[in-house]
Structure 1
Amino acid sequence: MLEELRKQIDTIDDKIAALYLERQNIVRQIGEEKAANRTALADPSREKKIIARVTKQADDSQKMYLKRVFETIMETSRSYQRQIVTPSTPLTDALHRVLMEGKKYFPVSSSVACQGVEGSYSSIAADKLFEIADITYFRNFEGVFQAVEKGLCDYGVLPIENSAAGSVGAVYDLMKKHNFYIVRSVKLRVCHYLLARKGATLAGIREVYSHEQAISQCSEFLQSLGANVKVIPCANTAVAAEKVASSDRTDIACISSRDCADIYGLGILQGNVQNNASNYTRFICISKNLEIFAPAGRISIMMTLPHESGSLNRVLNKFSTLGLNLTKLESRPLPGTDFEFLFYFDFEGRIEDADTLALIAELDQGSDQFTFLGSYAEVTQ
């Protein structure tokens, strides 16, 4: 009985495949017409009508399944049409111009903006990215964005996420306020140290200063110090080291980088105090210019989506259809809206690929707010 039913399924599948290929042939012809007439690939109103028509044939128990099937069919149709026509937009024109310039390689030296003071993890990341980094320090993350926007520095280096503590929300929130492009990223292994003035002892520490992200990454160690030790957030791990070094107290300490011990003349009370030995922070390098340095295999975008059921899933299906690996999805609330969000996507892909470029053009045209953040390489240190 089971084998007989499976044979019936096989026969039906063969018919579905034949009809699907017949449909794709017509889809190709429509794509060619759209290319000739410069018509948008997507036609949401027609797609809704098709789904409404076909789902009338199903009872309530099957309507949702049939809807999903036709949504997938239409997504693959658009993907096929993208091979035929890539809509011309100001963004795609700009990307084409950059690509036509030929291969460019990441600069060896440049002026770089970092948050904090000497010894910060951002400055360590900058030294990993550039062989010679002329670093200017700024009080906060916004100062880094402004320095790049105003041309005070060619590039800026900012932390974006940590493997243990998650995303750096303050940076994501600033990303929607400023104009910039990501030109490279670095994944840096972060080892935290408890530092204090020479002569201090672990048992005598009563206050520990550090950045809130480092505090989160070292929560287990801090708890082990006991309830009598006060943990105080600072703007930056290196700022915390500077504060401890400038004090005459031996009962305060900081969680900072190993470099800070040498820079500020502090002693190491304990090393590797982070919760996880595999503790990595990802930093982005930003520029005010659209630059793509070889080899660029990662793309970042941000966009709004309609405040309706299934809107995010439809976008994710586009990536899935093209076989693009989504490596990061972050949402941040849009101020002044009724629970609407701005979505950040990182995915593996090459902007030179026609399908990838066409997808970006489609997302650009289909979103009220769309920003191409960059095509770049990520390095690990």
Structure 2
Amino acid sequence: MKNKKKVYTLGPKGSFHHLSCKEYLGGESEIEFCKSFGGIFEAVKAGNLGWIAIYNSNTGLIENHENEINRNYNQLDEMDYEVHLCIAGIKKTNLNDIDKIYSHEKAISQSKRFINEKLSGVELISCSSTSEAAQKLANENIEKAGAICHAETAKFYNLEILAQIPNKRKNETTFSFFA
């Protein structure tokens, strides 16, 4: 990026927003995190760049960001990012002992088949992002629990990967780069 403006996206570190933005930029020196989509839009209004998910091939529109961007901002580019999910837990957690799963509602929805086949009866706890779920498990050292997240996210938070969640069909999220 030649203009060296900061790029604001949804965090925390390890979110799909972060991982896809890092891939798009070829690094992460310009990436800043927001706690909400509104925070990203505010940062762009202040003259920065934004990176936001607009569509998922399995679950459809992600809120109504595409319309917001088209009405009020300039879309500069977009990228499709393949979503791969896993179940991660703190050290010495066994997949069969899990009684709670933390994640974003979209990731839980995309993992329903796996959960029903391998972990039926677990309590599903919604978080604001997959990375927040991983961060929560790690920071609070929650036993007998898993987080649905990306494998790289699990590494950020020093979690063990307990199982890969296979995609039964293509699972991609389209991200928009805008100013």
Match of 1:158 in 2: 52
Q: Which amino acid aligns with 1:123?
A: H
Distance (Å, rounded) in 1 between the aligned partners of 2:69 and 2:35: 20
Q: 1:139 aligns with which of 3, 10, 35?
A: 35
**Which has the higher relative contact order, 1 or 2, with Cα contacts under 8 A spaced 6 or more apart?**
2
Unpaired segments ≥5 residues, structure 1: 1-105, 288-381
Contact persistence 2:82–2:172 (CA under 8 A): yes
TM-score of the pair, normalised by structure 2? 0.90
Q: Which has the larger radius of gyration?
A: 1
Contact persistence 1:210–1:256 (CA under 8 A): yes
* Residues 284 and 275 of structure 1, relative CA distance in 2, 3 Å threshold: same
* Residues 259 and 278 of structure 1, relative CA distance in 2, 3 Å threshold: same
Matches within 5 A, 1:217-232: 217-232=110-125
Q: 2:23 aligns with which of 123, 128, 132?
A: 128
* Residues 207 and 108 of structure 1, relative CA distance in 2, 3 Å threshold: farther
* Residues 148 and 274 of structure 1, relative CA distance in 2, 3 Å threshold: farther
SS in 2 for 1:169: coil
TM-score of the pair, normalised by structure 1? 0.44
Match of 1:285 in 2: 177
The Cα of 1:222 is off from its aligned counterpart by: 1.5
Distance (Å, rounded) in 2 between the aligned partners of 1:280 and 1:121: 11
Unpaired segments ≥5 residues, structure 2: none
Taking only aligned residues, the RMSD between alpha carbons, in angstroms, comes to: 2.1
SS in 1 for 2:72: coil
Contact persistence 1:108–1:131 (CA under 8 A): no
Greater helix proportion: 1
Distance (Å, rounded) in 2 between the aligned partners of 1:210 and 1:107: 36
The Cα of 1:158 is off from its aligned counterpart by: 0.6
* Residues 168 and 274 of structure 1, relative CA distance in 2, 3 Å threshold: farther
Contact persistence 2:69–2:178 (CA under 8 A): no
* Residues 108 and 246 of structure 1, relative CA distance in 2, 3 Å threshold: same
The reply to whether residue 194 of structure 1 matches residue 90 of structure 2 is: no
Contact persistence 1:109–1:131 (CA under 8 A): no
Matches within 5 A, 1:280-319: 280-287=172-179
Q: Which amino acid aligns with 1:139?
A: K
The Cα of 1:166 is off from its aligned counterpart by: 1.2
